[in-house]
Amino acid sequence: MRIVVVGASGNAGTALLRRLRQERDVELVGVARRLSGPEAGEPYDAVRWHSCDVGAPGAAQRLAAIFAGADAVVHLAWQIQPTHDQRVLHRTNVGGSRAVVDAVLAAKVPALVYASSVGTYAPGPKEHPVSERWPATGVPGSSYSRDKAEVEALLDRAEREHPELRVVRLRPGLNFQRDAGTEITRYFLGPLAPVRLLRHGRIPLVPTHRRLRMQAVHTDDVADAYARAVLGDARGAFNVAADPVLTPELVARHFHGWTVPVAAPLLRGAAALTWRARLQPIDAGWVELALEVPLMSSERAEAELGWRPRVDALTALRDLFAGMAHGGHTGSPPMSADRDLPGRPAGLLKSRPAGHGNPY
C-alpha cells in the first residue's frame, strides 16, 4: 500500500511515520517544504521524500505527480506561524489544502485523510461533549479556526462532486508529545517563556476562567487514529480526544500552582498587547479559540475506527512539559532544536522575533 503523507515532518507527521512503520507492506512517501537530512534518523529514514511548498503556484501539478499511484493521501500540512503575516498563513493553509485536494482528484487517489481540529467547530458548550454533527463553521475571532472551517467547506464540495473519493476528517484536541516540546514552545510561547521552571514540575500561577476547559490527546494516539483511518474504509468526521478534560484547577493541582481568576476581556487584552509588543507569538484569536470551542465526544472514533487512547490527557500534558523543560526535539526542520529560529532566545539576537519570519 502506497501512502503519501503531506506535512510528514511535523508533530503529527512524525508520530504517524512511527506508527505506519509498524505495518507490513506499506510504502511511505513524505512531502515537506524543507526536507530532513540523512542525519535526522528515525522515523524519517524509511521514507521517500519530496520537497513541495503546498501554497506555492503550481503546487497542485507538482503534488499530482507525487500522488500518482498512491492508495491514500494524509494531509497534515498546516502553518501556525508567522501570526503577524496572515496572508502567508492563509496561502499555505487554505490555498495549500486546495492544491492537495485538486492533486488527489487529478491523480485519482481513492482516499484522502485530512487533519482537521477541534478548532473547526463553532462556539459550543463546555459542560457536555458534542458529536461530529456540531457545526464546523469555526470561531469568528480566530483566524486559525476560520481557515480550518474554510478547508472543511472545501472538502464538503469535493465529497458532493466526487462521491468516489473517500474523505476522512480527524478533529483532534491539542496534540502533545515530548518530542514536540521545542516546537510548541517556539510556536506558542516564544523565547521569553520561563519553561525551565517546568523542570521542577511547577507552574506557579495558572489563570482560570469557567470556559478555559480544553481537551488533549497524546500525538502517538492521534497517529493511531490516522493510521486506522488510512488502513480502513471509514468515511466522514471523527473527534479524537482523551480524558480527563484539562481545567485550570486540575493543571494547578498537578503542577503545584495557584489559580488566579481572570476575566475573558483581560485574557484577550493581555494576549493582544503582548503579541503586538512582540513579546510572545500568538494573537488574541488563540485565547478566543480556547474560550469558545466545545468539548468533544470521541464515541464515533471508538465505535467505527476501534480507536481508544492509550495515554490520558494529563499524562500527555506531563510528557509535553518534560519536552519543553528539557528541549525535546527531533531532526526534522519543524521539530528542530536550532537555536537561531524565530521563537528561540538566540533568534532574538539575530532580529528574528516570535511571530515573524518562517519558523520552519
Extended beta strands in 273-352, E state: none
Contact criterion met (CB below 8 Å) for 309 and 173: no
What does DSSP say about strands 242-246 and 2-6: parallel, antiparallel, or unpaired? unpaired
Domains parsed from the chain with CATH numbers: 2-174+217-242 (3.40.50.720), 180-215+245-294+311-349 (no CATH)
CA dihedral of residues 352, 355, 357, 360 (deg, nearest 10) = 100
Q: Which residues of the chain have pLDDT under 70?
A: 346, 348-352, 357-360
Question: 195-202 long-range CB contacts below 8 Å, 24 or more apart?
Answer: 195/324, 195/325, 196/325, 197/325, 198/321, 198/322, 198/324, 198/325, 199/325, 199/326, 201/255, 201/256, 201/321, 202/255, 202/256, 202/257
User: CA-to-CA distance for 83 and 89, rounded, in angstroms?
Assistant: 8
CA distances to 143, 173, 230 from 246, in Å = 23, 11, 29
74-84 CB burial, b ≥16 within 10 A, e <16: bbbbbbbbbbb
Task: Give the contacts of 193 (CB within 8 A, at least 6 positions apart).
Answer: 185, 280
Q: What's the pTM?
A: 0.95
User: CA-to-CA distance for 143 and 346, rounded, in angstroms?
Assistant: 28
Average pLDDT across the chain, whole number:
95
The confidence score (pLDDT) of residue 218 equals 98
**N-term to C-term CA, the chain:** 30
Burial grade of 202 (CB within 10 A; 0-12, 13-18, 19 or more): exposed
**How many CA atoms, within 13 angstroms, populate the side-chain half-sphere of residue 8?**
29
Output the furthest CA–CA distance in the chain (Å, rounded). Answer: 55
For the chain, what is the radius of gyration of the CA atoms?
19
How many helices (H) does the chain have, and how many strands (E)? 13, 12
pLDDT tens across 139-193, in order?
A: 999 999 999 999 999 999 999 999 999 999 999 999 999 999 999 999 999 998 9
pLDDT tens across 215-250, in order?
A: 999 999 999 999 999 999 999 999 999 999 999 999
Contact criterion met (CB below 8 Å) for 14 and 335: yes
**Other residues' Cβ atoms within 10 Å of the Cβ of residue 345:** 11
HEC letters along 65-109: HHHCCCCEEEECCCCCCCCCCHHHHHHHHHHHHHHHHHHHHHCCC
The confidence score (pLDDT) of residue 39 equals 86
Closest CA to 262 of 231, 287, 240, 279: 287
What are residue 130's DSSP bridge partners?
296
| Helix (H), strand (E) at residue 63 | helix 59-67
The confidence score (pLDDT) of residue 360 equals 57
